[in-house]
Structure 1
Amino acid sequence: MTRYAPQLQLGLILATLLLAFWLSADFQHIAAGVAIFLLGMVMLEDGFKALGGSVLERILARATGTLPRAMGFGVLATAVTQSSSLVSVISISFLSAGLITLQAGMGIIFGANLGTTTGAWLIAGVGLKVDIARYAMPMLAIGAVLMFQRAPAIRGAGQVVLGIGLIFLGIAFIKDGFDAFSARFDLSQLALAGLVGLAVYTLLGAAATVVMQSSHATMLLVITALASGQIGYENALAVAIGANIGTTVTALIGAASANYQGKRLALGHLIFNFATAIAALVLIVPLRHAVDLISDLLGIRPDDFALRLAVFHTLFNLLGLAIMVPLMARLVRFLERRIAAPAPNISKPRYINADLGAFPAPILAALGNELRHLHENAARLICEGLNLRLDDLTQSKDIGVTVARSNDPILLDFERRYEDKVKSLHAAIVEFSAQKATLELPATTVTRLQELRDAAGAVVRAVKAIKHMRRNTQRFTTVPHGEITQLYDNLRCEIAQILVEIERLEGMAPEARSSLWIEEERAALDHEARAAVRQVEGALQTRRISAADATSFLNDSGYAFEAMRALLDAAQLIYRPPDMAEAEIERLLELDDDELTQKSAQDVS
């Protein structure tokens, strides 16, 4: 039965609409207005994603350091975009990618709830008092022209203008529809007083918002109906409370494909809105008195119930903030306990399996984190393939001594570990990069996606190179074989030093990272490779190693240096911030070939 529930719900809604259309032509006018309004909301949302999505991301990333700043962003972003759904989706994406904290995400949701009240003020204060259909027509024409341009920014601006025009037109249709409807029918006779009215109309408000997926649309309907006398003031207050509950469904839908952090945020949103609604219902009488007092102070006429509803909508959302903000720490702790973080699985993606939308910042952040996950798995496998332990190396004061003492064989199925912990992650990263590259993203974001995908390939190349040299490494380093053992230990030491340096990069602040040392190491590798060949030739000529051992070492040293170059390539791509690329190139140009060669010689000696 559950399987067919969505189809049954859709069928019931369509049947109800058809019956209403048959009973009243005026209802068709109202329904068309709601449809145009919702289409305008979608168009406005898409336009802001294309035009201002990256701007919102940059502001969000910088403006969520404290709870008041996070709430301020939520208020401002929702007031500008007129879409709490867009702000909620961006917040879930950022939280899923690890760019903001759960407390910051909740602060944004709190602010978005208050910011959504601006829609009620616009509808009640402007939409019902001005013939906005006159403004809608030129906006529709201008928006349509802009929307069909090739430039993404111009097309996004066109969607925003077209969306606003559709919203204005939808409001005009609904207003005219209710005016005509009120001449034939008087729905105010269906008004319910007392607790029954509160309960029934709260549920109606929640249901309408769930169906239309927009609290703005619900508030538009109730304010327009209130202005035309089709609904009583007390019942309209209850509908506004219900709309606040119904709007949480959007966040729940957005969190369905999010990771555990996104689910925490959606549950927190639900708790906040339900707590606000319950408080408003319990305190409905004193709230109404407060609305009357504030309205009188603002000069709002006693019979202007539409504007008084806007005051109520704002007041009870402020009440919710007054109740929940002091409980923020407890709420966050509850959410963390209720939806626990899953145990880390090094074999599966941790960051790119969440729905990150089409927002560049969380996409790149999640992919960067997944690359680090892949690199960590690969670094441990590389070390164990060489009879080393990554933790021992990162804690060592003398890597050479640690490598020389690491002669106990580490038994592992290298191929199986590679398949489970490296290859599977690499495949997921390649698939994620390919899917996101098809979106309408900025050119710099697409380029960065390609760089990170290439970095994943470099990590895999390093692991495959180590696989080829594993058998001889075990043979010559677990049991002393004279000078050939020393040669293999030198290779192990060089690989270990690069892995440790990359681990140190991970612990640095982004602005402190530099790719200069990578270029220096790459130049040094060429020198070291030639030095290793000369050393083997000398040992072979003096018969300190056999020809067979010399051949094995030369082959394995080729694999070792291939692995080291691949690790350096990956590190350069992973840890170089995209916006610092040009600065890095300029700094590299300051190093001439002689300086690189001199530095390489010093490192080798």
Structure 2
Amino acid sequence: MTFDLLNIVTALGALGLFVYGMKTMSEGIQRVAGPWIRHLLSDLTQSTAGGIANGFLTTVIVQSSSATTVMMVSFVNAGIMKLKQAINVIMGANIGTTSTAVLITLIGFSPFNVTIWGLPMLAIAFPLLFANSSTIRSLGEFFVGFGLFILGLVLIKANIPTINEFPEIAELIASVQINSFLLFLIFVTIGALFTVVIQSSSASLVITLTLAANGFIDFEQAAAMVLGENIGTTVTANLAANIGNVHAKRAARAHSIFNVFGVVWMLLAFPFFIDGIATFTNWVIGYSPLDVNPASEQYQYAVNWGVAFFHIAFNLANTFIFVWFTDIVVNLVVRLLPSQGKIDKEYTLEFIDRGPMGTPELSLLEAKKEMAKFGWLTEKMLNYFTELFNSKERKITDKRIRKLKKYENITDRIELEIADYLMKVSRGELTSQTSERVRSMLRISSELERIGDLFFQMTITMEKKIEDRIWFTPEQRSNIQEMLEMLREAFEVMNNNLKDDVTDENIARAKEIKRKIMQRKEEIRKSHFKSVELGDYNIHSGLVYNDLFNACEKITENVTNVTEAMYNKMAEQQAQSNSRT
């Protein structure tokens, strides 16, 4: 075949179709498997083995190591995962991404004609796209992506010629004498650049496999390109981390160190590793990628399976070596990227506005953790106000007033940012359960922001009380302190529910606390009115006392509303679950 500009553009179009198919397939399966992936992320990252298994399974499911690593960067940024846990998941993701090489080899370069299933996949997908169930529609998207993936692979192969059609190039390649070490570095660099430019290690891999199958590069050169692609794929996570906090940047840098370190040690072991993989490939499929004649029909089968096995063996070996040095890497990236003090510790939600967003199911993992941090922030405001109320030192009261005013501004910003983020999530394809969770989170966020406003109002009231030198009676002070203490218990239950999945036991405890507060509130209110009638309070202290007491009552309602929103969400999910059974 002649290879002109049209062939080049067609090959690039085929590559685009392949990448789009991979993306659609990945997003569809993420929506279908979202709850299961959420379970993986929440339950299987506590141990090293669990984290690696988590990364492996998640990447095999979504067929994108970049999606998994970017997800980990976002989770570290949000505080959902610790740095060491994220590194374990990333190591597993590197192993999981080798499944793509196996999939491409099975579909595109095996002796069996699997490629004929591309259009039938689209035929299967078409009716599913119009189903009422969002899960079935997402499954249809998966089949659309899989069909386009196959068609893209077929077109890439069809539009890239073999080396036999260009004898001049074959002679030129044969005549070039380059030091093996330098040649290794050249192809590692080419693989890395391909991946950085295309922003898809899967696309780079399919180009590598096609070039190898068509004789433009040999097995060793293809293996070197695969190593480069392992470095290039870290760029995606680093770009995502640039708009995150220092913890997100550390996770991304750890990923880079992991992959670069692997290429460095492989540089020393490369000849032995290549021989071992060739022997293993010969044992598995009956052909060695080092011995088969490039002109034979078996060559592309042997060389591509050799590359796939090399990819698997390299990432397994690299993980086995690296896992013993995880703590050292954590310490290294902490030194390379030291915390900037309060800048990195201060609560922020900026990452959800500009950072990468996955599927709604996975995005809500971040939102859930942020909601728990929001609840913790309001409890901190309670602690600061209690210190303000109890302190008699002007220096301490002034400091607490400044803190509470600052935190009120933060709560306003957080509520707006969470609402904006959840609106973005809701634009995706939502299941009924996910839609209910979004509504619940919006209500919870609004209630928490109102709590911040109420503490601000109480702070202004206390500031005026101090400036006007208004004094409480012992009874007034004792009653407010009692309300604050009961609020503390209510906040504890609320934040436990926000942090973990709500349980019937926690709901019962929340209702009991609300009952106690409401009962005591009525007793205190009656006592207050009686004292006013008897003239026990002066008018100024009575007004301040009434304002603080009413604010405490409203905060109690807001805290209860948060728990009720979570309870209603749980009841809705249980009802939906029961309806299925």
TM-score tier (shorter): 0.7 to 0.9
Q: Distance between the aligned counterparts of 2:254 and 2:525, measured in 1?
A: 61
Alpha-carbon spacing, 1:237–1:471, altered in 2? closer, same or farther (3 Å): closer
Contact 1:468 1:556 in 2 (8 A): no
Contact 1:96 1:351 in 2 (8 A): no
* Structure 1, 201-210 or 430-439: larger mean CA deviation: 430-439
Shift of 1:50: 2.6
Partner of 1:357, secondary structure, is: coil
Amino acid at match of 2:510: S
The corresponding residue for 2:222 is: 236
The corresponding residue for 1:332 is: 330
Q: Distance between the aligned counterparts of 1:185 and 1:349, measured in 2?
A: 63
* Structure 1, 261-270 or 191-200: larger mean CA deviation: 191-200
The corresponding residue for 2:204 is: 218
The corresponding residue for 1:73 is: 54
Partner of 2:160, secondary structure, is: helix
User: Per-residue CA shift, 1:530-550, capped at 9, x if unaligned?
Assistant: 32334314532xxx55xxx1x
Shift of 1:227: 1.4
Alpha-carbon spacing, 1:144–1:186, altered in 2? closer, same or farther (3 Å): farther
The corresponding residue for 2:442 is: 450
Q: Distance between the aligned counterparts of 1:69 and 1:24, measured in 2?
A: 49
Q: Distance between the aligned counterparts of 2:440 and 2:118, measured in 1?
A: 40
Shift of 1:469: 3.7
RMSD in angstroms over aligned alpha carbons? Answer: 3.3
Alpha-carbon spacing, 1:576–1:113, altered in 2? closer, same or farther (3 Å): farther
Partner of 2:348, secondary structure, is: coil
* Structure 1, 106-115 or 440-449: larger mean CA deviation: 440-449
Matches within 5 A, 1:170-319: 170-179=152-161, 182-184=164-166, 187-188=169-170, 189-190=172-173, 193=178, 194-302=180-288, 303=292, 304-319=302-317
Q: Distance between the aligned counterparts of 2:19 and 2:312, measured in 1?
A: 22
Q: 2:540 aligns with which of 549, 552, 561?
A: 552
The corresponding residue for 1:373 is: 377
The corresponding residue for 2:516 is: 521
* Structure 1, 138-147 or 236-245: larger mean CA deviation: 138-147
Alpha-carbon spacing, 1:250–1:260, altered in 2? closer, same or farther (3 Å): same
The structure whose Rg is larger is 1
Task: Give unpaired runs (5+ residues) of structure 2.
Answer: 293-301, 575-581
The corresponding residue for 1:498 is: 486
Contact 2:470 2:541 in 1 (8 A): no
Q: Distance between the aligned counterparts of 1:251 and 1:131, measured in 2?
A: 36
Alpha-carbon spacing, 1:71–1:156, altered in 2? closer, same or farther (3 Å): same
Amino acid at match of 1:177: N
Q: Distance between the aligned counterparts of 2:316 and 2:550, measured in 1?
A: 62
Contact 1:458 1:569 in 2 (8 A): no
Q: Distance between the aligned counterparts of 1:408 and 1:30, measured in 2?
A: 74
Task: Tell me, yes or no, if structure 1 residue 363 matches structure 2 residue 364.
Answer: no
* Structure 1, 551-560 or 179-188: larger mean CA deviation: 179-188
Amino acid at match of 2:147: G
Q: Distance between the aligned counterparts of 2:17 and 2:554, measured in 1?
A: 55
Contact 1:350 1:370 in 2 (8 A): no
Amino acid at match of 2:153: I
* Structure 1, 87-96 or 243-252: larger mean CA deviation: 87-96
User: Per-residue CA shift, 1:119-166, capped at 9, x if unaligned?
Assistant: 212222332124343211121233344345564323321221111111
Contact 1:347 1:420 in 2 (8 A): no
Alpha-carbon spacing, 1:253–1:103, altered in 2? closer, same or farther (3 Å): same
Alpha-carbon spacing, 1:435–1:315, altered in 2? closer, same or farther (3 Å): closer
Contact 2:18 2:148 in 1 (8 A): yes
User: Per-residue CA shift, 1:333-382, capped at 9, x if unaligned?
Assistant: 22233223342369953355453724111112113213322441x22443
Shift of 1:207: 0.6
The corresponding residue for 2:101 is: 120
User: Per-residue CA shift, 1:259-294, capped at 9, x if unaligned?
Assistant: 222211110100000011112222111101111221
Work out the number of aligned pairs and report it. 537
Amino acid at match of 2:173: L
Shift of 1:40: 0.8
Q: Distance between the aligned counterparts of 2:453 and 2:516, measured in 1?
A: 18
The corresponding residue for 2:527 is: 532
Alpha-carbon spacing, 1:152–1:520, altered in 2? closer, same or farther (3 Å): same
Amino acid at match of 2:7: D
Contact 2:388 2:401 in 1 (8 A): no
Contact 1:347 1:424 in 2 (8 A): no
Alpha-carbon spacing, 1:35–1:196, altered in 2? closer, same or farther (3 Å): same
Alpha-carbon spacing, 1:577–1:243, altered in 2? closer, same or farther (3 Å): farther
Shift of 1:501: 2.3
Identity of matched residues, %: 21
Shift of 1:249: 1.0
The corresponding residue for 1:63 is: 44
Alpha-carbon spacing, 1:345–1:174, altered in 2? closer, same or farther (3 Å): closer
Contact 2:479 2:524 in 1 (8 A): no
Contact 1:476 1:485 in 2 (8 A): no
The corresponding residue for 2:65 is: 84
Shift of 1:423: 2.3
Amino acid at match of 2:478: N
Shift of 1:186: 6.2
Q: 2:88 aligns with which of 107, 113, 132?
A: 107
Alpha-carbon spacing, 1:583–1:53, altered in 2? closer, same or farther (3 Å): closer
Alpha-carbon spacing, 1:74–1:431, altered in 2? closer, same or farther (3 Å): closer
Matches within 5 A, 1:408-447: 411-412=397-398, 417-439=403-425, 440=428, 441=430, 442-447=434-439
Amino acid at match of 1:436: L
Alpha-carbon spacing, 1:248–1:222, altered in 2? closer, same or farther (3 Å): same
Amino acid at match of 1:466: M
Matches within 5 A, 1:464-475: 464-467=456-459, 469-470=461-462, 473-474=465-466
Q: Distance between the aligned counterparts of 1:585 and 1:363, measured in 2?
A: 18
Task: Tell me, yes or no, if structure 1 residue 488 matches structure 2 residue 479.
Answer: no
* Structure 1, 465-474 or 207-216: larger mean CA deviation: 465-474
Contact 2:108 2:153 in 1 (8 A): yes
* Structure 1, 414-423 or 78-87: larger mean CA deviation: 414-423
Alpha-carbon spacing, 1:336–1:141, altered in 2? closer, same or farther (3 Å): same
The corresponding residue for 2:321 is: 323
* TM-score, normalised by the number of residues in structure 1: 0.80
User: Per-residue CA shift, 1:164-223, capped at 9, x if unaligned?
Assistant: 111111110111122467535665443665122211111111111111111111111111
Alpha-carbon spacing, 1:164–1:579, altered in 2? closer, same or farther (3 Å): farther
The corresponding residue for 1:153 is: 135
* TM-score, normalised by the number of residues in structure 2: 0.83
Alpha-carbon spacing, 1:474–1:64, altered in 2? closer, same or farther (3 Å): same
Alpha-carbon spacing, 1:160–1:296, altered in 2? closer, same or farther (3 Å): same
Task: Give unpaired runs (5+ residues) of structure 1.
Answer: 1-20, 390-405, 587-605
The corresponding residue for 1:162 is: 144
Contact 2:372 2:495 in 1 (8 A): no
Greater relative contact order (Cα < 8 A, sep 6+): 2
User: Per-residue CA shift, 1:223-258, capped at 9, x if unaligned?
Assistant: 122112122222112111111111111111222222
